[in-house]
Structure 1
């Protein structure tokens, strides 16, 4: 089943995000390579050309997990959690009703 992982950053977390970004992305790439990832990305604080200027309020990940406990365990071991970037994580079951083609964005920011 799909689950939404909605993470909320601590204020002024940009420096920590950048320091742990590679490890955070590696875990998401595993989900992608396993065919379990629906979407993932950061939630910018403002709409601007370079979101690294004002930072991020959190992240959103939608992926397939066997159950809610597995989704929660995966989220709780994210480098952004372990290194204090995320202040809170919420996990919700998700039923995908519609799907659009993926974005043409070549590079994720978070």
Structure 2
């Protein structure tokens, strides 16, 4: 007999409701995963070393490339957790979406939970 254990699923809130996007164990602290949402848009899902989940738009507004999931996480001296774009290195606050290097630019932030 084989025992199957349930894996926690990461879910994002969409206008249609909560959508499961990946298994929790697929996330590595400090690295992202790109996910496709039902409306065709992409999100970048991250977890930090404390286990906090974050989800933001995957599109880098400076280049138009869908690469933020490939960025690295860091934090400011004030404790703001950010992802640095792998292309031009702009940093985006994962809680607010604000670009820390150009406050006139921001990315969408998604509500995320474990389901």
TM-score (normalizing by structure 2): 0.24
TM-score (normalizing by structure 1): 0.24
Larger helix proportion of the pair = 1
Larger strand proportion of the pair = 2
Higher radius of gyration, 1 or 2: 2
